[in-house]
Structure 1
């Protein structure tokens, strides 16, 4: 399994506010499945970052395409494979 950083830059602040509860519920469900390892917003309001763990970037793109932020046009996305190093 690999890690993928998904940058979710802001497209529409109003839509983002509207769909935030759905977005967070979606990510919480993916966390419960073990697919999302970390999530959070940028304090400057420019968007957020989600760390997925999956077999491929294609798998991650399928998850991202079902995120309410993406479905409803509130955010765009960029997926990058991430070679993670964690403190022990």
Structure 2
């Protein structure tokens, strides 16, 4: 299962963002480590910097939670996050683009549980 995470500032935004600058190098080093390990596939903020978004590859929801808690922004109490499980069906033109394939994927998933 893939997971999308949404990261929001906690408390007073301006004070939190100012405090976050003290942790930015650590956060970016953490991001690089997770990307090189193949855990965080895509990440970045919204243009207004209100929301951080990360896409995690095949990991359990519990593993995503454990990893997110080690993000310096989160461990310092500057960000809170939400984990959204995501069944990725289409990626770069690869995937289920017809009902026959979607049905086969659903049947295979049902047999796994």
**Is 1:5–2:4 an aligned residue pair?**
yes
CA contact (8 A) 1:15 1:72 kept: no
- Which runs of no fewer than 5 residues in structure 2 stay unpaired? 11-15, 94-113
Instruction: State the shift of 1:75 in Å.
Output: 0.6
Q: What SS does the aligned partner of 1:76 have? A: strand
Q: What SS does the aligned partner of 1:61 have? A: helix
CA contact (8 A) 1:7 1:47 kept: yes
Give the greater-gyration-radius structure (CA): 2
- Would you identify which runs of 4 or more consecutive aligned residues in structure 1 move more than 6 Å? none
| Aligned residue number for residue 21 of structure 1 | 25
Q: What SS does the aligned partner of 1:79 have? A: strand
- Which runs of no fewer than 5 residues in structure 1 stay unpaired? none
Aligned equivalents of 2:28, 2:51: Cα separation in 1: 13
Taking only aligned residues, the RMSD between alpha carbons, in angstroms, comes to 1.2
Instruction: State the shift of 1:33 in Å.
Output: 0.7
Instruction: State the shift of 1:83 in Å.
Output: 2.0
Instruction: State the shift of 1:55 in Å.
Output: 2.8
Instruction: Choose between structure 1 and 2: higher helix proportion.
Output: 2
CA contact (8 A) 1:15 1:73 kept: no
Instruction: State the shift of 1:54 in Å.
Output: 3.3
* TM-score, length basis structure 1: 0.89
| Aligned residue number for residue 38 of structure 2 | 34
Aligned equivalents of 1:47, 1:55: Cα separation in 2: 22
**Is 1:82–2:86 an aligned residue pair?**
yes
Aligned 1:28-67 pairs, distance under 5 A: 28-67=32-71
